Amino acid sequence: MTENFPGPKTLDVLKRGIPIFKNGLRFDEEMQKATQRGYRSPRQIVISKASGDFIWDMDGKRYIDFQNGWATNPIGNAHPEIIEAVHLAHKQFGFHYDHPLRYDLAEKLVSIMPDKSLTRINYEVSGSEAAESALHLALTHTKRRYIITFTSCFHGESLGTKLMSGYTSERNRYLEAWGGGVIKAPYPYSDQKPAGMSREQYVDYCLWYLENHITEYMVPKDNIAGIFIEPGLAEGGNWIPPTKFLQGIREICDRNDWLMIVDEVLTGLGRTGKMWAIESYDVKPDILVMGKNLSGGIEPCAGVAATDEIMGDNPEFSTGSTFAGTPAGCAAALKTLEIYERDGVVEHAAKMGRLAEEIMKDWEQYPVVRQIRSNGLLMGVAFQSPDGNREDDWLYSRAVRGRMLQNGVWAISDREQAIRMYPALNIDEENLREGLAIMEEAIKLVSQVGHDEGDGPAWPTGVAGF
């Protein structure tokens, strides 16, 4: 890879800006250590402009956007119709809590729920707030004290959602003693299965664990409020759960009088080629959490939907925020959903998801590719070290991501073993094809020459913030 990437303007902003943020005091020291170890400079950019399927860095280089505002811009970057709707709402209402748009949006959301029994809406600002709100709703409705979540799940970065998440043990360091009401169960990953189990056997074990091990040895079943599940582990690596697992959870909840709470902050509102990911599994949730795509990437807006029984009369349920359901956020959401309906956005996402799956289906032939995962435009590629050293797997994902970035595609890879892609749901077919072609070229190169050619370990986790 050439050594003049990122460009000088981008590097100047990074060098000036990053030391100001968390871990900035050790930035220079860590950079010197990286240089001494022979690591390459980081492959990171700073955005100067965003529009549609593209973003541009400070040096004017254009990229196909597979990062997509961390899956928050469902109809592309800076959509002009949504910006105009937000501007008009600001001019008319400024900020006030009670305004007609909050009622208009609630009616619209109820009409598109995956089950008609989800008739109550509660607004929040972010997905994290919405997840915490759903948790409190479940506890207060059932009068129980425990909730079951899953390993590798991610529900947010606030205190409550950190405790619910099972992303990594490091993310909960020093909070371990606070998580007494959360029980983390195994998730049936499609690889890394224990004891040589088949996928089917592992799914059976995970379901057995929920209803038997937890209730026999950990918590009485009549003190469990419910199961909190993502119908697609997004931050955890875009794992796609089998139908048997989601349907099995529904059956377990029914047998034990538990609530099934579905976190659709990232997977919902078209990401999987259906309005809600849970629709792929023919399962009815009791509570649904939404966010991200809801307001077109322009204004924050999130919320919770539940049944009349759960939310219709629950005086102990206490939640809300000053900026929950703002006029601008509701206006953005209403315009986004209008465009979805007018332009067939969800149907287009399903079509593009099938195309992407067809393009990627043979990538597991490359020695650095461990697994392809996709459901609509919820896409991921897991990587591996060809020599079998699992600790080095993340180097190969970062190598591929670095090569992609240099060649004009922006995707997500933290210190992960996978690259995750969340293109706009209305992405132009030509742009999707080009982006995936660039990704395959990067995979071929790294397969041939190793991770050093693609991108060595970049700035330390927590310093570079990417």
Domain spans of the chain, in order of start: 8-77+345-454, 96-325
Nearest to 299 by CA among 271, 270, 336: 336
DSSP sequence for 205-222: HHHHIIIIIHHHHTS-GG
Those residues of the chain that have pLDDT short of 50 are 1-2, 38-39, 41, 174-175, 454-466
**Residue 301 near residue 333 (C-beta atoms within 8 A):** yes
Residue 459: the pLDDT is 36
C-alpha–C-alpha distance, residues 67 and 70, integer Å: 5
Question: Does the model's pTM come out above 0.95?
Answer: no
Q: Find, among 326, 330, 312, 334, the residue nearest to 120 by Cα.
A: 312
CA 216 to mean position of chain CA atoms: 33
CA angle 217, 221, 223 (to 5 degrees): 110
For residues 153 and 412, give the distance between their C-alpha atoms in angstroms, rounded to a whole number. 17
User: Both ends of the chain: CA-CA distance in Å?
Assistant: 20
* The predicted structure's pLDDT at residue 160: 63
The pLDDT, as a whole number, for residue 3 is 54
Contacts of 260 (CB under 8 A, 6+ apart): 226, 227, 229, 249, 250, 253, 283, 284, 285, 286, 287
pLDDT recorded at residue 236: 77
Report how far residue 429's alpha carbon sits from residue 426's, in angstroms, rounded to the nearest whole number: 9
The pLDDT score that the predictor gives to residue 1 is 42
Domain formed by 8-77+345-454, architecture: Alpha-Beta Complex (3.90)
Specify the CATH architecture of the domain 96-325: 3-Layer(aba) Sandwich (3.40)
Residues 6+ apart with CB under 8 A from 11: 41
Q: What is the pLDDT of residue 25?
A: 72
Centroid of chain to Cα 173: 22
What is the structure's pLDDT at 234? 84
- The pLDDT score that the predictor gives to residue 412 is 92
